[in-house]
Structure 1
Amino acid sequence: MTRSHDLIIRNATIIDGTGAPRMTGDVGVSGDRIATVGDLSAARAAREVDASGLILAPGFIDAHTHDDRAVLADPDMAAKVSQGVTTVVAGNCGISLAPMPVPVPQPVTPPLDLLDASGEWYRFKSFADYAAALRETPAAVNVACYVGHTTLRAIAMADLERAATGDEIAVMQALVEEAMEAGAIGVSTGLAYPPARAATTEEVIEVCRPMVPFGGLHATHMRDEGKASDAALAESFEIGRALGVQTLISHHKLSDTAMHGRSVETLATIARAREAQGVSLDCYPYVASSTILTAEHAARSPRTLVTWSRGRPDMAGRDLAEVVAELGGTLEEAVARLQPAGAVYFTMVEEDVSRILAFAPTMIGSDGLPHDTFPHPRLWGTFPRVLGRYSREMGLFDLETAVHKMTGLTAAEFGFRDRGVVREGAFADLVLFDADTVRDRATFEAPTQRAEGIAQVIANGEVIWREGRATGARPGQVLRREVA
């Protein structure tokens, strides 16, 4: 019997996001949902796409972003949509754009300046105000957001170089409760950054406590990702156990030469923890990280690139060693002249990156920084790089596993109901790509080049990317965490 659909995608090779083997078939979309998966040869639709030779998969979910401002300032989200991404998780590493009920500190305290160095966008007095802005002026992609512990410290504390007092914790707790009521998915921490280093484990536990009744998630840029990784993992697990909540280890890596190769041990530690409590992790597919520029970080990195600089904007994109030679003086003096600034640090090795990516529970997150003048290529290349380099070329895992790590696994870990899968009743977040040609083109030298092999991207039933460009459709929704 002929059925009416708004869109039918015909003759696709369907990888459904669950990890199951691919199959060939048609997918019918009605409104913002997948209505039918199967043989639709007798059906017709207002729009039809012949997907012969293409993979149809769930739209990719970027498990770790700093897109809080980008989804409002650049709602077409070309950097992500061009990769097949239909959902972004923002507010990571303790940094969220909201709430900011007091004037943001000037100059903006690093790493809060990764979202906005001017402070102009720290305009949302409550998390509810921010969520309302996302709904009133939606982006092309869906958005889920944490409230950031470092942002809360900047609000509640005049002195960030000490642990919070009971009164200051109470202020932060009230803000967490408001954020959770407004739809935040949990609290993120960035204990490696100076504004949060002085926070004790007990402070983090108490600040996070109001999220517990909401089923909130604690995501952490751990206190250390080098020689003290074991202690940092133990602290992260302790916080999760004390609260009875899921802990997410953000961008798991080993960024100290002395730790290279020890992902065997850290992954075994994570696997053991997962047997006793809720633990998840994400990773990006590169051997270089990117964050604020500090002399401390640069001194430990074999190579450093400047991604942006307010002190010397002309130095963006330059190798720091060349900058130091040009400016004269010491590394510390050169960095001080550049600051506030951002950088890419080449501190990891392929052995660890590949092993972490291949670990079955690992989700994919770009950790891209959309406001850098000369960004890390992960902003534009993460997801096609997993498909092209790590799945097709290196054979690290099959294509079904690659897609699962970017879709069904992520939706399940975050509690995004009816997302991340191709099945009847699920939201129509979809991507069509060519498995033989999909690849990242963004490089450290040319970091904003668009990926190849992404044919169409659909979010909530609307085409948001086609023929190499954004369509202008902005059907993105604000996602909440839904857990049983």
Structure 2
Amino acid sequence: MYNLKIRNGKIIDFEKETQTICNIAVKNGKIVCIGQCSEDAEKEIDAKGNIVSPGFIDIHMHEETIGNTIDGDDYDIANKMLSMGVTTCVSGNCGNNRQSIYEFFEFVDRKGAPVNYLSFIGHNYLRNVIGVERYTSATKEEILKMGNLASDAIEKGAIGISFGLEYSPGIKYSEVIDLCNSIKDKDILLSAHYRKDAKYGIDSIKELINISMETGLPMQISHLGSCTAYGMMKESLRVIEEAVKSGVDISADCYPYDAFSTYIGSSVFDDGCFNLWNKSFDSILLTEEPYKGVRCDKDTFYKVRKEYPNMLAVAFVMNEEEVIEALKSPYVMVASDGLYNRGQGHPRGAGTFPRILGKYVRELNALSLTDALKKMTIIPAKRLGLNNKGQIKEGYDADLVIFNPDKIIDTASFDKPTEKSEGISYVIIDGKIALEDNKIENGRLGKIIRKNELSRGGKLYD
């Protein structure tokens, strides 16, 4: 007997780009039958002709601060991830871990989580651990210490190193290279928040390409839209394409919004930023009390920078048409960059994936449904080495999303950044129902996926 059978689901074959109505049967957390699947099941779901997709994989998000939430749960963002169809996500991005990776792993191992987690170890986090200031360059001795800490984290399950070059302007190119070269395990993935955006964006991307070339390690460029969606996107995509064609193992991710978000006290908002973006103070929206919903003027901006440096701010500075251009590129996958403080922040943490399917696929016809789903499933799965996820095939993990392609849409806004999306009827993790009709039924099905469980054979783009 099957544990679960999904009847009348529409399956998209990513290779043939065809759609088929059929049944899917699940047993012991695996897909065991696609077709008639005539055997009985303990639980049946009628998909009613809606899309049955592999669970969405978010290759770039920022994990919770465990136990420090406002909704009575231990998790402040994973529940939002689950509600928008994400079943697996990657934390520790932009050089930062919000807490000790060991504590985070141990907590999820012990209690489970709403989604599956992989994690980078963040370079900037390591700098903080050993006491290197963000405007200061690390010494050889300090780099060696960071290398030992990073190697230990990778040995215990981190999938690689993430960098936040813009967040620590003191980081030299040589520091990145020396740190990578000091890592004992070379089968790792690098991820990087570039050094500077807008007119500096092309040079910043070239720097990341050079890091990949010099270290021989694959590189994931974080949130490409916020790097070059200022009039430079065509050029940045051309540079990436040329690098890929020359053999560099590099790709990027992007979220579907024309505004980025980060801490107001970070170096992103250092003097000169508004000239760089050709914007004024009122392009900055504050997201937390006592300034929630306030657009900055000069006095408010500097006051909040000084008194509330850890407040998340939203910067409306990018061009949406260039964000769309990035998302259409074969070298760019979908990711949320989701981050919340006490339930406040940018709506991308609750709306990214339904927004792609609702606005960019259905309403704007900027992407085909098949291409969009590939950028959310099979492409990030291959990038990460998740060889049993990202496709609907027999033997693959039963992480699935059932959604109505005519109704799916995000509802999270900059006023209400955690609102649940519409059009998703079921989210299934490990063959069990995690979410049904927008209600979380089991929020502890997720687990930590460690590096030794991955298999990254070959380059993403052949």
TM-score w.r.t. structure 2 length? 0.90
Matched with 1:48 is: 44
Q: Give the drift of 1:75.
A: 7.8
Matched with 2:460 is: none
Q: Is the 8 A contact 1:157 1:164 kept in 2?
A: no
Q: Is the 8 A contact 2:64 2:77 kept in 1?
A: no
Q: Is the 8 A contact 1:463 1:473 kept in 2?
A: no
Q: Give the drift of 1:478.
A: 1.5
For residues 354 and 429 of structure 1, do their structure 2 counterparts lie closer, same or farther at Cα, with a shift above 3 Å needed?
A: same
Matched with 2:292 is: 316
Matched with 1:29 is: 26
Matched with 1:143 is: 117
**1:15 is the counterpart of 2:12:** yes
Matched with 1:362 is: 332
CA distance in 2, matches of 1:11, 1:149: 47
Q: Give the drift of 1:440.
A: 0.5
1:15 is paired with a residue whose SS is: strand
Q: Give the drift of 1:277.
A: 1.1
Matched with 1:228 is: 200
Q: Which amino acid aligns with 1:466?
A: E
**1:405 is the counterpart of 2:379:** no
Matched with 1:200 is: 172
For residues 233 and 93 of structure 1, do their structure 2 counterparts lie closer, same or farther at Cα, with a shift above 3 Å needed?
A: same
Q: Is the 8 A contact 1:12 1:53 kept in 2?
A: yes
Q: Give the drift of 1:330.
A: 6.8
1:360-380 deviation per Cα after TM superposition (whole angstroms, max 9, x unaligned): 121111111122553111111
- Picking from 366, 372, 375, the partner of 1:396 is 366
1:227 is paired with a residue whose SS is: helix
CA distance in 1, matches of 2:218, 2:441: 37
CA distance in 2, matches of 1:470, 1:254: 32
CA distance in 2, matches of 1:59, 1:16: 15
Matched with 2:455 is: 482
Q: Is the 8 A contact 2:383 2:456 kept in 1?
A: no
**1:64 is the counterpart of 2:60:** yes
Matched with 1:115 is: none
Please list every run of 5 or more consecutive structure 1 residues that lacks an aligned counterpart in the other structure. 98-121
For residues 283 and 151 of structure 1, do their structure 2 counterparts lie closer, same or farther at Cα, with a shift above 3 Å needed?
A: same
Q: Give the drift of 1:149.
A: 0.3
For residues 448 and 225 of structure 1, do their structure 2 counterparts lie closer, same or farther at Cα, with a shift above 3 Å needed?
A: same
Q: Give the drift of 1:211.
A: 4.3
CA distance in 1, matches of 2:77, 2:239: 40
Matched with 2:70 is: none
1:351 is paired with a residue whose SS is: helix
Q: Give the drift of 1:160.
A: 3.7
For residues 463 and 211 of structure 1, do their structure 2 counterparts lie closer, same or farther at Cα, with a shift above 3 Å needed?
A: farther
**1:157 is the counterpart of 2:128:** no
For residues 248 and 19 of structure 1, do their structure 2 counterparts lie closer, same or farther at Cα, with a shift above 3 Å needed?
A: farther
Q: Is the 8 A contact 2:12 2:19 kept in 1?
A: yes
For residues 172 and 356 of structure 1, do their structure 2 counterparts lie closer, same or farther at Cα, with a shift above 3 Å needed?
A: same
What is the identity percentage for the equivalent residue pairs of Structure 1 and Structure 2?
33
Q: Is the 8 A contact 1:307 1:373 kept in 2?
A: no
Q: Is the 8 A contact 1:305 1:343 kept in 2?
A: yes
Aligned pairs for 1:220-369 within 5 A:
220-254=192-226, 260-275=230-245, 276-294=247-265, 295-296=269-270, 297=273, 300=277, 301-302=279-280, 303-308=283-288, 313-321=289-297, 329=299, 331-333=301-303, 335-369=305-339
- Picking from 143, 146, 168, the partner of 1:169 is 143
CA distance in 2, matches of 1:174, 1:144: 20
Matched with 2:153 is: 179
For residues 395 and 45 of structure 1, do their structure 2 counterparts lie closer, same or farther at Cα, with a shift above 3 Å needed?
A: same
For residues 75 and 265 of structure 1, do their structure 2 counterparts lie closer, same or farther at Cα, with a shift above 3 Å needed?
A: closer
CA distance in 2, matches of 1:13, 1:223: 43
For residues 289 and 330 of structure 1, do their structure 2 counterparts lie closer, same or farther at Cα, with a shift above 3 Å needed?
A: closer
CA distance in 1, matches of 2:16, 2:106: 35
C-alpha RMSD over aligned residues: 2.1
1:213 is paired with a residue whose SS is: coil
